Chains A and B, each alone.
Chain A
Amino acid sequence: MSSVAVIDYGMGNLHSIEKALQHASPEVDVQIVSDVKKIQQCDRILFPGVGAIRDCMKALDRSGLSPIIKEVAKTKPFLGICLGMQALLTDSEENNHTPCLDIFPGHVEYFSTDITDSDGSRLKIPHMGWNKVLQKTHPLWKGIPQNSRFYFVHSYYAKPDNASDIIATTDYPQAFTSALAKDNIFAVQFHPEKSQAVGLQLLKNFLSWDGNC
């Protein structure tokens, strides 16, 4: 039986992610874990996150899990979700500049407060709801139609230094990076666990992914 570790570092509720993983692939052993040994024993790693980045990084430091996350991100199939994606960049401008894990070189920036749609209507922050995801080729998009809508809720977005790390973009109103990928790591700004059929498909793909592109 293959296993996935959902990393529990005290940020937010992992119920939805756990249920969605179980639903996507009932044969996979889903473990909510905060213990270093157990994380190392699992085949795949899911790194979630909600809330503010400073709290997230503090929680990681407090739990002592930063080194192990960096370690497993080198070898195991790894999926970061929402703040679990932003935390992989070098730093974030949220909370007056917060250093992050620096797994993807680049920064996390705020959407401007005065962005408007093509018809002049003000675009609201947070960017909340179902938006289209323009994919580049990657095994985790298998079975997911191009431009499918996923559920987003965020006010900051990743700006990686290397364009080659961008595996999907979304318009709000300018294109921003909605997914990153490098080797065995995949990270998404949206919430697959809340994105109905296409989200479950992405989780299913992840749960059978060997980490190769």
Chain B
Amino acid sequence: MGLAKRIIPCLDVDNGRVVKGVKFVDIKDAGDPVEVARRYDREGADEITFLDITATHDNRDTIVHVVEQVASEVFIPLTVGGGIRELEDIRRMLNAGADKVGINSAAIFRPEFVKEAAEKFGSQCIVVAIDAKKVSAKDEKDRWEIFTHGGRKETGIDAVEWAKKMVDFGAGEILLTSMDRDGTREGFDLTLTRAISDAVSVPVIASGGVGNLDHLAEGVTQGKADAVLAASIFHFAEYSVEQAKQHMQSLGIEVRL
């Protein structure tokens, strides 16, 4: 008996629409993030994460409206990431009804931003998103570094050290994405997940690479993640959140059912 491991579906939102087309039979508009969020809530999602990938600054308001609408009818924690660069961005998201914000490149550009954000709004709502890629050669000890721009740009920063630093600066949670695995459907980078989870005192969300339900379970049992995040396996309705939870429970993992 204890704390449940969390399953977090992630919606990529571009200009207020869910991208990577969602295939649910029982929703009218599969591109409407509000409808999709409602569906995940019904299926028992523990939290929902919105990743705003809108490229132009002018259209950023659309995500605020999405969060407002979802927050007025879905009563589970909501996280918004993408384009969070200033304290004002965080304030707007929290006022719209988000419970947490994900900070990624802004933290790399200026780590003190995380400190300021945690001091102003509390660590409980500051999630630092880390995109890591393996840089060690095959015969070397495993080593990962932080990459930006969707994994194209290296920074030379060690991922484990960076995670520790972000926690020292006030991150209340780490959202860890393996850029080697993201989109591959081969499963999480479990060694990376384990290394980060062992290194920090705060909860770690594993992300990147989920292709089946066993992958989700492995993130918890082998990667020691506190929560697992996935997009496509839920979007394409291959599996429901409920099925994922039942599978994890059958393997002895504590979940909220």
Chain B residues near A149 (CB, 8 Å)? Answer: 4, 256
Partner of A129, one of B72, B95, B172, B203: B203
Total residues of chain B contacting the partner, CB 8 A: 35
* Contact status A132-B122, CB under 8 Å: no
Chain B residues near A151 (CB, 8 Å)? Answer: 76-77
Q: Does A182 contact B (CB under 8 A)?
A: no
* Contact status B121-A194, CB under 8 Å: no
Pairs across A and B, CB under 8 Å, 29 listed: A13-B97, A15-B71, A15-B94, A16-B71, A19-B71, A19-B75, A20-B75, A50-B122, A50-B124, A50-B125, A51-B122, A51-B124, A113-B201, A122-B198, A124-B202, A126-B123, A126-B203, A129-B5, A129-B46, A130-B3, A130-B256, A131-B3, A131-B4, A149-B4, A153-B124, A172-B2, A193-B75, A194-B75, A194-B76
Partner of A171, one of B1, B4, B71, B125: B1
* Contact status A126-B172, CB under 8 Å: yes
Q: Does B52 contact A (CB under 8 A)?
A: no
**Which residues of A (50-88) have their CB < 8 Å from a CB of B?**
50-52
Q: What residues make up the interface of B, taking CB atoms closer than 8 Å to A? A: 1-6, 41, 46, 71-73, 75-77, 94-97, 99, 121-125, 172-173, 198, 201-204, 224, 226-227, 256
Q: How far is the CA of A154 from the CA of B203 in the complex (A)?
A: 12
* Contact status B2-A171, CB under 8 Å: yes
Chain A, interface size category, equals 35 or more
Q: Does A10 contact B (CB under 8 A)?
A: no
* Contact status A52-B96, CB under 8 Å: no
Q: What residues make up the interface of A, taking CB atoms closer than 8 Å to B? A: 12-13, 15-16, 19-20, 23, 50-52, 113, 117, 121-132, 149, 151-154, 171-173, 193-196, 199-200
* Contact status A196-B2, CB under 8 Å: no
- Say how far A90's CB is from chain B's closest CB, in angstroms: 23
Chain A residues near B224 (CB, 8 Å)? Answer: 121
* Contact status A128-B97, CB under 8 Å: no
**Closest residue to B42 on the A side, CB-wise?**
A196
Partner of B3, one of A51, A122, A172: A172
Besides A117-B2, A130-B6, 6 more A-B contacts (Cβ < 8 Å) are A12-B94, A15-B94, A19-B75, A50-B124, A149-B256, A194-B77
- Say how far A119's CB is from chain B's closest CB, in angstroms: 10
Q: How far is the CA of A23 from the CA of B97 in the complex (A)?
A: 14
Partner of B2, one of A13, A19, A173: A173
